[in-house]
Structure 1
Amino acid sequence: MTAFFKPVLWAGFFVLAGVLPASAACLDCHQPHALDESDPHAFLAQQCQACHLGEVDAANREDAHAGMISSPGWLDNAAETCGTCHVDETRHVVEGLMHSGRGMVNVTRHTVGEQDRPDQGDGRLDGLGHTPADSILRKHCASCHLGQPQHQMTTEDPIGSRGGGCLACHAPHETQRGQGHVTLSATVSDQSCSGCHSRSGRIALNYAGLAEVDAHVLDENHPNPLGRLPDGRLVESTHRDVHHQAGLACIDCHTTRDVMGPTGQFNHGSDAVDIQCADCHDNRQPRITEADWPSDLRGQLGRLPFERDPQRRFLTTERRSTPLWHIELRADGSKILHRKVNGGSLPIPPLTEASHPDDGHHDRLTCSTCHTQWAPQCHGCHMDYDPEKEQFDHVAREFTPGSWSDQRWNVHNDAPPMGVDSEGHIVTFVPGMIRTIDHPDWEQTQFRRYFAPLSPHTIGPARSCEDCHRSSQALGLGRGTLEHNGDEWVFNPNQADLQDGLPADAFVDLEGRSGRTTRAGARALTAEEIQRVLNALPP
């Protein structure tokens, strides 16, 4: 990788080492592309070469454009452009999960049987080979990672946006741009997140109350309004997260450190998340002042949405001690969140003993386990590889031989099952895959039943006691009827058994047989745990 260079101070301004302020020669031809004064890089208005390189003093167009970079910030040039000033941030992004896709690669290889564990391996989206698992990733998954050039998939709407490195978040989407130079910003809108995060766990859709459904619902008396996304996917409108209802954008919760890094040491995106519910609603961390501010985040102090005071105290996250600079602590003990994107402010409701009694019975449950309203769940999938067809390879960036097709069915958007994560917490799970898959290199069809822990971002009122203690879905048994027969519980499933003897939508059965998970150390509830949950309420 190209070396990173520190900026140097000249006449009160930061300029690139070895580059003195130049004349506006570039703007003699590119005047419409002058930087807007609101751009944080406006101090470089006369130094186009600071980001775009090229030969600013050249006398003709060809020489001036020699070595020029038209899109600074793509990860193949970020070290020479953004990285000359934003040294650590650029390194973290290049090493981070949104670029490497480490967890996605290792999990895919594990579920196809190419490696033993889902949390170990040298998986990187920019280093894929041509095994069946890597072929799936090349043809279906690698379009999202930040190492891709900025491009559109299926639609010009932001939901189709992919790649772009630093520009993926910090530049407005193409349809939002005027005729001049784009105005970069640290205020990242939800549209910048939606392109990649509306797939797989569909968190961007879930948060806004949009649940993907299959076309057969068009022929049914469907209870919720239906519509289509700009890329053609059919969705129903359902409960949206209470934080979305309150006007909070993604970056109102997710901090610089869990989005940009350092995340290179983590295996999965969920491991890299910094923020937790308690950081806002029940923060018991020591308060900090400006004097305690982390050196790598000093720039945030200039963005405070309230009066700056060296004695003012701030909240920090429990996981990484990241300052929550947009939350104002009032003298009366109340907390006010100032929205970063949508403006305005609102009080943060505190966790109270009256609504969350500390009875010791639910210590293992995370907040979202009780407060999740629904999650996207697909309980049927078949994938098939045809070596005679061609399909676009997102790593090679061209059409190559071999094509993967997939079909899905048994889709539901309702209460998800519970399970145990690798730290022993009770969390919500969704089917990572309940699928069959065919490849000509294999002697027979593979069948896999894997579930994955997911925080669906559909927070609302807490489940009732019965919603967990009497729900076959919550326990992971699937849809059906639970009955208490004498001294034992009996479950009658609605769906037929598959090859492994479990109902099509089940995570586990009453005997303790279960599907696997995509996280090392995570699991379904045991038979003993299920019995304890069922017996906690009178039959």
Structure 2
Amino acid sequence: MLVAASWPGQVATAPLPPAAAARVREEGARAPAPDLLERREQSMPAPGAGPKTAALSWSGQGCTAAQCHSGIEPIRDPDSEMFKRIIEIGRAAGDPDGCVACHGGDPRAEDVASAHRGAPARLAREGGPDAFFPDPASPWVNERTCGRCHAELVAAQWRSLMMTEAGKIQGTAWAFGSLEGYDHRWANYAVASLAERIGTPAYRAYMAAKAGAHPNVFVSSHEPLPDAPAGLGLRQLAEEPGRAAFTYIRNQCQRCHLGVRGRQARGDYRGMGCGACHVPYGNEGLYEGGDRAIPPDEPGHLLVHRIQATREATVERPAAAGAPAVRWSGIPVETCTTCHNRGKRIGVSYQGLMEAAWDTPYTEGGGGQLPLHTKHYIALSRDVHYQKGMLCQDCHTSGDVHGDGGLAGANLAAVEIECSDCHGTPARYPWELPLGWGDEDAPGAASGPPRGVARELPAHLERGTLYPQADGYLLTARGNPMPEVVRVGDRVLVHTAGGRDLWLDPLRRKADRGELSPAAEAAMVTTPRHLETMECYACHATWAPQCYGCHVKIDYSGGARSFDWVSAGRRHGTPAGRTARGENGFDTTIPGRVV
């Protein structure tokens, strides 16, 4: 028996899928060591946990005919409002099972080629799919799919830092010779900010002031990233070696932006656009659902045909090969680490994993670990939030990940949460702090009236799981409510997307009850300047193994070439590439190879 860990956030004793097992045997190793897996999978419920999915019977017509996708999973629980709406749209277009609402295609066709072509005319006229979409979540088409219900978030995705990558571009350009100084001119695609940010009036006012204080970071528009040196331009490298940055950025840094599916390697399989986060993929990139039309041994497929999002959006991996069915909710940390395993390494650091030069610890069969994200890891200290079972989304807000419609050139500019938003300080509860505490533009404490709590949520946040507001929703440092974090008297209750309800005692409550440790007293009470001039994680960072950069060499000799992920994204933006499921077959290479 092998340890199967090819679906996100789970550990179960069962045979690996045939293709994965063959790969393990070929490399002379078994699956990653159990201790390492335990470190990676703490945040998810045990196999079989979670609410059960409502039963569903497909019509057996069109897409779900016996010879087609009869065994596919419903994209959401059949009792959910989202699924009911999909069925309603599909039936109006002649598809009783709703597949065309997202994928388009011809539900009345009798062969695969015809079924996977075009779209019902009525659907296209109403703003739905106007062609067959293999990947409806792709940003190049999702205005006609996800955007029919989530228009503001689909518009915001083009301004999010995970699409523009303006921070990585500026940082790399700086390291190669300050090509754009402190400005954030360039992004993967030309884009301008929306007229109004998504958020509360208080948030929009706060961000207007913040943007005014940092105009080189909160910009109104981005220019497209310049081309990599090629042709006669290669001769310029002798005089302007810094231009090699564009080769490095396009080949290495940008394979994780939302406009492409990115590198298809173990641990890196994902979708693009909304599907990069909201569609589950396993480490092996193999489909493990019930649809016989999807090859189970062909890497590059989603894990199951299901959306993962909030606590009520339950995902189930069916029982197979002796392994029990596995259910979870929320977006597993492993989904985030398909991208966040490089640069700051924040995803794998959160899990307590650090890159290693060796493939130890050895497995029970004597072999080394399989590579993950093309690297090997050792288990160190996990973040305390991870140990408590919290997912990335339990702290990060909708604006952090979807974007708010504005342009931000760095992580600190895009992220609106601060530790004090939940923990407060020894002198004040979170709701007693003014807006801006911990997010100051200069050393010193923010000033103003207490921020209080929220009694209502913006419309886009009401579409997620709604929890009882108790004494009010806590606010971020920038003024948006956190719908999963509520005040209950002088305590805080955090409802995690994974299904846990965690009680938190703010620092003020601990101080009043004499429960602060001597170290906490010294750091925050005896020396209050620490809180006024330093981030909490300046000290609370022992969990984060750091990478301080690489010695990069780019070899342009011998006709060496490498893949250009930015050009690949722009190829998706053409009529010919718009509906492509990924980048396979794209001839978007540039001179030079990073070694």
- Smaller-chain TM-score bracket: 0.5 to 0.7
- Given the superposition, is the C-alpha separation of residues 398 and 59 from structure 1 closer, same or farther in structure 2, using an over 3 Å criterion? closer
Deviation at 1:163, TM superposition (A): 4.9
Give aligned pairs, total.
365
Alpha-carbon distance between aligned partners in 1 of 2:501 and 2:348, rounded to the nearest angstrom = 24
Highest relative contact order (Cα 8 Å, sep 6+), 1 or 2? 2
Which of residues 402, 406, 411 in structure 1 aligns to 2:591?
Answer: 402
- 1:278-297 equivalences in 2 (<5 Å): 278-282=420-424, 283-284=430-431, 286-290=451-455, 292-297=456-461
Name the amino acid aligned to 1:184.
I
Alpha-carbon distance between aligned partners in 1 of 2:360 and 2:63, rounded to the nearest angstrom = 55
Q: Which residue of 1 aligns with 2:272?
A: 164
Alpha-carbon distance between aligned partners in 1 of 2:527 and 2:102, rounded to the nearest angstrom = 58
- Given the superposition, is the C-alpha separation of residues 259 and 358 from structure 1 closer, same or farther in structure 2, using an over 3 Å criterion? farther
- 1:197-346 equivalences in 2 (<5 Å): 197-215=340-358, 229-262=371-404, 264-282=406-424, 283-284=430-431, 286-290=451-455, 292-300=456-464, 302-304=465-467, 308=468, 312-319=471-478, 321-331=479-489, 333-341=490-498, 343-346=499-502
Alpha-carbon distance between aligned partners in 2 of 1:371 and 1:189, rounded to the nearest angstrom = 24
Deviation at 1:77, TM superposition (A): 1.0
1:401-456: per-residue Cα shift (whole Å, max 9, x none)? 523333xxxxxxxxxxxxxxxxxxxxxxxxxxxxxxxxxxxxxxxxxxxxxxxxxx
SS of corresponding position for 1:30? coil
Deviation at 1:92, TM superposition (A): 0.8
SS of corresponding position for 1:357? helix
- Contact 2:166–2:187, Cα closer than 8 Å, also in 1: yes
Q: Which residue of 1 aligns with 2:553?
A: 383
Q: Which residue of 2 aligns with 1:474?
A: none
Deviation at 1:57, TM superposition (A): 5.1
- Given the superposition, is the C-alpha separation of residues 144 and 105 from structure 1 closer, same or farther in structure 2, using an over 3 Å criterion? same
Alpha-carbon distance between aligned partners in 2 of 1:121 and 1:36, rounded to the nearest angstrom = 39
1:212-258: per-residue Cα shift (whole Å, max 9, x none)? 1335x989xxxxxx966424423222111111111111111111111
Alpha-carbon distance between aligned partners in 2 of 1:83 and 1:37, rounded to the nearest angstrom = 17
- Contact 2:146–2:154, Cα closer than 8 Å, also in 1: yes
Which of residues 73, 80, 83 in structure 2 aligns to 1:42?
Answer: 83
Deviation at 1:138, TM superposition (A): 1.7
Which of residues 341, 344, 357 in structure 1 aligns to 2:525?
Answer: 357
Which of residues 178, 183, 191 in structure 1 aligns to 2:334?
Answer: 191
Name the amino acid aligned to 2:338.
G
SS of corresponding position for 2:539? helix
- Contact 1:153–1:161, Cα closer than 8 Å, also in 2: yes
Alpha-carbon distance between aligned partners in 2 of 1:236 and 1:262, rounded to the nearest angstrom = 36
- 1:61-210 equivalences in 2 (<5 Å): 62-64=113-115, 65-66=117-118, 67-113=131-177, 115-124=179-188, 127-128=224-225, 129-131=227-229, 132-148=244-260, 150=261, 152-155=263-266, 159-173=267-281, 174-175=285-286, 177-180=288-291, 182-186=305-309, 187-210=330-353
Q: Which residue of 1 aligns with 2:11?
A: none
Name the amino acid aligned to 2:459.
S
Alpha-carbon distance between aligned partners in 2 of 1:111 and 1:213, rounded to the nearest angstrom = 25
Alpha-carbon distance between aligned partners in 2 of 1:231 and 1:381, rounded to the nearest angstrom = 20
Alpha-carbon distance between aligned partners in 1 of 2:553 and 2:76, rounded to the nearest angstrom = 52
* Larger proportion of helix: 2
- Given the superposition, is the C-alpha separation of residues 138 and 350 from structure 1 closer, same or farther in structure 2, using an over 3 Å criterion? same
SS of corresponding position for 1:239? coil
* Larger proportion of strand: 1
Deviation at 1:93, TM superposition (A): 0.9
Deviation at 1:144, TM superposition (A): 0.5
- Contact 1:27–1:34, Cα closer than 8 Å, also in 2: no
User: Is 1:33 aligned with 2:53?
Assistant: no
SS of corresponding position for 1:133? helix
Alpha-carbon distance between aligned partners in 2 of 1:175 and 1:232, rounded to the nearest angstrom = 17
SS of corresponding position for 2:338? helix
Deviation at 1:277, TM superposition (A): 0.4
Alpha-carbon distance between aligned partners in 1 of 2:393 and 2:385, rounded to the nearest angstrom = 12
After TM superposition, the score normalised by the length of structure 1 is 0.61
Question: Gapped runs of 5+ residues in structure 2?
Answer: 1-58, 88-96, 119-130, 191-223, 230-243, 292-303, 310-329, 362-367, 425-429, 434-450, 569-585
Alpha-carbon distance between aligned partners in 2 of 1:139 and 1:61, rounded to the nearest angstrom = 35
- Given the superposition, is the C-alpha separation of residues 211 and 227 from structure 1 closer, same or farther in structure 2, using an over 3 Å criterion? farther
Alpha-carbon distance between aligned partners in 1 of 2:406 and 2:270, rounded to the nearest angstrom = 21
Alpha-carbon distance between aligned partners in 2 of 1:35 and 1:288, rounded to the nearest angstrom = 38
- Given the superposition, is the C-alpha separation of residues 275 and 227 from structure 1 closer, same or farther in structure 2, using an over 3 Å criterion? farther
Alpha-carbon distance between aligned partners in 2 of 1:176 and 1:346, rounded to the nearest angstrom = 33
Alpha-carbon distance between aligned partners in 2 of 1:162 and 1:390, rounded to the nearest angstrom = 25
- Contact 1:390–1:399, Cα closer than 8 Å, also in 2: no
Query: Which has the higher Rg, Structure 1 or Structure 2?
Result: 1
Deviation at 1:371, TM superposition (A): 1.2
Alpha-carbon distance between aligned partners in 1 of 2:114 and 2:589, rounded to the nearest angstrom = 37
Alpha-carbon distance between aligned partners in 1 of 2:373 and 2:253, rounded to the nearest angstrom = 16
Alpha-carbon distance between aligned partners in 1 of 2:564 and 2:270, rounded to the nearest angstrom = 14
Alpha-carbon distance between aligned partners in 2 of 1:349 and 1:176, rounded to the nearest angstrom = 42
Deviation at 1:58, TM superposition (A): 5.6
SS of corresponding position for 1:142? helix
- Given the superposition, is the C-alpha separation of residues 237 and 262 from structure 1 closer, same or farther in structure 2, using an over 3 Å criterion? same
Question: Gapped runs of 5+ residues in structure 1?
Answer: 1-21, 220-225, 407-539
Deviation at 1:110, TM superposition (A): 2.9
- Given the superposition, is the C-alpha separation of residues 235 and 228 from structure 1 closer, same or farther in structure 2, using an over 3 Å criterion? farther
Name the amino acid aligned to 1:72.
P
1:8-31: per-residue Cα shift (whole Å, max 9, x none)? xxxxxxxxxxxxxx9954333432
Alpha-carbon distance between aligned partners in 1 of 2:183 and 2:61, rounded to the nearest angstrom = 52
Q: Which residue of 2 aligns with 1:6?
A: none
Deviation at 1:50, TM superposition (A): 1.4
- Given the superposition, is the C-alpha separation of residues 263 and 240 from structure 1 closer, same or farther in structure 2, using an over 3 Å criterion? farther
Name the amino acid aligned to 2:461.
L
